[in-house]
Structure 1
Amino acid sequence: MHFSIPETEVRSGDNGSTYVAYNIHVNGVLHCRVRYSELLGLHEQIKKEYGSNVVPSFPPKKIFTLTPAEVEQRREQLEKYMQAVRQDPVLGASELFNSFLRKAQQETQQIPTEEVQLEVYLSNGQKVKVNILTSDQTEDVLEAVALKLGLPDELVGYFSLFLVREGSDGSCTFVRKLQEFELPYVSVTSLQNPDYHVVLRKSYWDSAYDSDVMENRVGLNLLYAQTVSDIERGWILVNKEQHRQLKSLQEKGSKKEFIRLAQTLKYFGYIKFDPCITDFPEKGCHVIVSAGNNELNFHVKLPNDQMKEGSFKVTRMRCWRVTSSQVPMANGTASSCGPGRCEVKLELAFEYLMSKDRLQWVTITSPQAIMMSICLQSMVDELMVKKSGGSIKKMLKKRHNGAIHRSDSQQAVKSPPLLDSPDPSREQVVKLSSKLTSVTLRGISTSSSSNDISGNDFHGNYAFEGIGDDDL
């Protein structure tokens, strides 16, 4: 996740005095407003809990009122502090840090703690209504959804909640995976836009773990609904014969066989991102990026309108980073970047081993850059667990405090409608595409095996969304 403090605001306190508020953004969106004194209090708590030697440096107090230049300097220092804490594997995952962010989010949005009903969508469009508190964190909401559906405790960790934006044309944009430091109800309602929903989706990449999920009736239905949905929206490519076979299995109600056939299809289990811009193989190319099978897949439109396709394996990425910058909106000016007049430009850049002795940076400019980075990190996490001989089940399972008592009124997952006929225009796009040759993209690995991980081309030490000083 990308933390930033791009702006400050002068606000009025309860006693009529004014103070400087620092706006903390996550993934380019306002998460909360905090005062310097509140962050200082957090810093003191962290220092007391974990020791001064592990806590990043904090900007010092000032006796006199800060000048505009000093406010700007403090803003930059606080931004670096928040990023450093979040990047620390211990501090960033601590309940101390996350509870501070949750409380600040709730106070900023001025939503009192009360019981509410939240609609969580399944992949087939079905809504699951759960009664929660506005102050319930992501894991609480996930457990409430699992309880309503009847999903066993041991499978809860195989799924996650995502913030999704639906377009008027039926398109689906994955904004981000909801994190432990946010309150899902507050996150979705504060956007004040009915196009945003919370969606339940599987949170792992290796299709071998589908077998664990399919052993349970609810898990099977959830995975089946997601597979059908991904086929319908064109994320999984299907030719006419495959479509006929799938529809036959669907009509028979053979869900496991349907999923197993889908597992053999191109882009099964991938997340597809909105069209964006890349500098590879040429600067300014339009590209559709998909994440899955331990890779980022590029479907590139070159300046001469030729379509190319290629994949970047995470096992050949030396490191990656996400950067953000403030750019004026279309109706703004180059010098005006105040609140409401600027938008955030996000870029994901990764250093890739193109050939034995040649590394090259590849950059993607996309509002979903951080979501792409989260996908990369989770793929790396799975591969590292496999490489170390660990159990993916232990990584995915949630360890609950106390038993969860199941409700008698469990909600069944409905089957999606039968598949529509394949989109003819989608097949035309596939025909236009051709694999990137070794001339246009040297060193692209086509192997789908995870056995090509070695100490020479794979680094597990990622500090800021995949990149750390140790990697350079």
Structure 2
Amino acid sequence: MHFSIPETEVRSGENGSTYVAYNIHVNGVLHCRVRYSQLLGLHEQIKKEYGNNVVPAFPPKRIFTLTPAEVEQRREQLEKYMQAVRQDPILGASEMFNSFLRKAQQETQQIPTEEVPLEIYLSNGHKVKVNILTSDQTEDVLEAVALKLDLPDDLVGYFSLFLVREGVDGGLTFIRKLQEFELPYVSVTSLRSSDFHIILRKSYWDTAYDSNVMENRVGLNLLYTQTVSDIERGWILVNKDQHRQLKSLQEKGSKKELIRLGQTLKYFGYIKFDPCITDFPEKGCHVIVSAGNNELNFHVKLPNEQMKEGSFKVTRMRCWRVTSSQVPVVNGTAGPAPGSSAKCDVKLELAFEYLMSKNRLQWVTITSPQAIMMSICLQSMVDELMVKKSGGSITKMLRKRHNGSLHRSDSQQAVKSPPILDSPDSNREQVVKLSTKLSSVSLRGITASNSANDISGSDFHGNYAFEGIGDDDL
């Protein structure tokens, strides 16, 4: 997750005095407002618990009132501090840090602790109403939903709660996976829009784990509704013959068979993102990105209107980073006055360094408000591959995963992934050592004749075709 403090506010205290509030944003959205003294208190607690050697540097106290320049300097220092704490594998996962953020979120939104109903959506639009406390964290809400659905404890970790925005056409924009440091009720209600809601969806990528989930009646129903809804919204591509087969299985109530057929279809289990911009294969291209099957899939619209498609395997990414920048907004448009007091939009970019061909690495950049969600998808794919390679428990990993916790950032707020991965097969050599055997990634055009039999929910779809590197080359 990307932490930033893009702005400060001068606010009034209880006795009429004023103080500077630091607005902590997560993924470009306000999470909470805190005072310097609150962060200093957190820092002292962390230092006492974990020692001076672990805790990052904290901006010092000052005797006199800060000048505007000093406030700005402190803002930058506090931002770096919050990023360093969150990205530390011990501090960022600590209950001390997460409970501080949950309490600050609740106080900022001024929502008292009380019992409330909360609607959680399933993939088919059906709503499950659970009674929770406004102060319940993400895991508490997930367990309440599982209890209401009668989903066994050992399957809860296969699912997660996602914050989504529903469009006028019924499409879904995935904002983020709900984190351990937030309160789901507060997160969704603070947006003050009925377009936003929380959805339950499976949180793993490897379809081999579907079998574990399908052994349970509730797990089977959840996978079934997700598969059907993904097909209906055009996330999974089917031709006319496949559509007839699926319809027949649906009418018969053959849920397992429908899922098994779905697993053979293009983009089963993928998350599809909103249209955005990329610099591959050339700068300024419009692209629809989908994440799944240990890859990011690109469906690109070139400047000459030609449509092309290709995929980037996570095992061939040497590293990736998420960067944010502030774009001043004046009267609803981007203004030219950096450093002014005007409100700013946050521009997010995901960039990854990819092994294109033998000994050739290239950076590919995606500019999208969903850049961090894409990064979380990449990280969770890496987590699964590493657990699978080591023979560890996928269930334990899913329960303990810190929702795509990101690694240390540099001064440009860049977040880097682990280095390029070994092949999932431990008997094979590292990808880097096999660079001489790799062929180049290429994008192949989509013709009208190829797409004639495809059923799709979007004009941006066609018959996907990819020429390039596959896992068999590793």
Pairwise CA distance, 1:304: 1.1
Aligned to 2:385: 383
Which residue number in structure 1 is paired with residue 273 of structure 2?
273
Distance 1:275 1:248, change over 3 A: same
Residues 1:343 and 2:345 are matched in the alignment: yes
Alignment of 1:13-412 (within 5 A): 13-329=13-329, 330-335=332-337, 341-397=343-399
Supply the distance in 1 between the matched residues of 2:213 and 2:455 (Cα, whole angstroms): 30
1:398 CA drift (Å): 7.0
- Asked whether the 8 Å contact 1:136–1:184 carries over to 2, the reply is yes
Measured in 2, the distance between the counterparts of 1:88 and 1:396 equals 19
RMSD after superposition: 1.8
What do residues 130-175 of structure 1 show as CA deviations (whole Å, max 9, x unaligned)?
0000000000000000000000000000000000000011111000
Which secondary structure does the structure 1 equivalent of 2:333 belong to?
coil
- Contact 1:326/1:337, CA 8 A, preserved across alignment: no
Which residue identity does 1:372 align to in structure 2?
A: M
Which of 453, 458, 462 is matched with 1:430 structurally?
462
Deviation, 1:446, is: 2.5
Provide Cα deviations, 1:276-307, integer angstroms capped at 9, x if missing partner: 00000000000000000000000001111111
Contact 1:386 1:392 in 2 (8 A): yes
Q: Is the 8 A contact 1:287 1:300 kept in 2?
A: yes
Q: Is the 8 A contact 2:234 2:456 kept in 1?
A: no
Q: Distance in 2 between matches of 1:123 and 1:244?
A: 22
Letter in 1 for 2:469: S
What amino acid is the match of 1:351?
A: E
- How far apart in 1 are the matches of 2:457 and 2:226? 23
Shift of 1:333: 2.3
Gapped runs of 5+ residues in structure 2?
Answer: 402-452
Q: Which runs of 5+ in 1 are unaligned?
A: 400-420, 438-443, 453-472
Q: TM-score, normalised by structure 1?
A: 0.86
Q: CA 1:106–1:339 in 2, change beyond 3 Å: closer, same or farther?
A: farther
SS at match of 1:430: coil
* 8 Å Cα contact 1:347-1:369 kept in structure 2: yes
Mapped to 2, the partners of 1:425 and 1:182 lie a distance apart of 33
Contact 1:153 1:398 in 2 (8 A): no
Residue-by-residue CA offset, 1:16-66 (whole Å, 9 max, x unaligned): 111100000000000000000100000010011111101000011111111
Q: Contact (CA 8 Å) 1:323, 1:346: kept in 2 or not? A: yes
Q: Deviations over 1:352-402 (max 9, x none)?
A: 111121111000000000000000000000001011121213323579xxx
CA distance in 1, matches of 2:460, 2:361: 34
Would you say how many aligned residue pairs link Structure 1 and Structure 2? 421
> Kindly, what percent of the aligned residue pairs are identical?
84
- Distance in 2 between residues matched to 1:425 and 1:203, nearest whole Å: 24
Distance of aligned partners of 1:24 and 1:338 in 2 relative to their CA distance in 1, 3 Å threshold: farther
Measured in 1, the distance between the counterparts of 2:391 and 2:58 equals: 39
The CA distance in 2 between the partners of 1:132 and 1:424, in whole Å, is: 38
The separation in 2 between residues aligned to 1:100 and 1:286, in whole angstroms, is 40
Quote the Cα distance in structure 1 between the aligned partners of 2:389 and 2:363.
26
Tell me if structure 2 keeps the 8 A contact 1:11–1:18: yes
Seen in structure 2, the aligned counterparts of structure 1 residues 338 and 130 have a Cα distance that, compared at 3 Å, is farther
| Contact map agreement 1:307 1:434 (CA 8 A) in 2 | no
Following superposition, the deviation at residue 228 of structure 1 comes to 0.3
Post-superposition Cα deviations, 1:434-465, rounded to whole Å, max 9, x if no partner, equal 53x5xxxxxx4233x6x94xxxxxxxxxxxxx
Q: For the structure 1 residues 102 and 72, does the alpha-carbon distance in structure 2 shift closer, same or farther, using more than 3 Å as the test?
A: same
What is the rounded CA distance, in whole Å, between the counterparts of 1:124 and 1:343 in structure 2? 33
Q: One-letter code of the match for 1:40?
A: L
Q: What is the CA-CA distance between 1:338 and the residue it aligns to?
A: 6.1
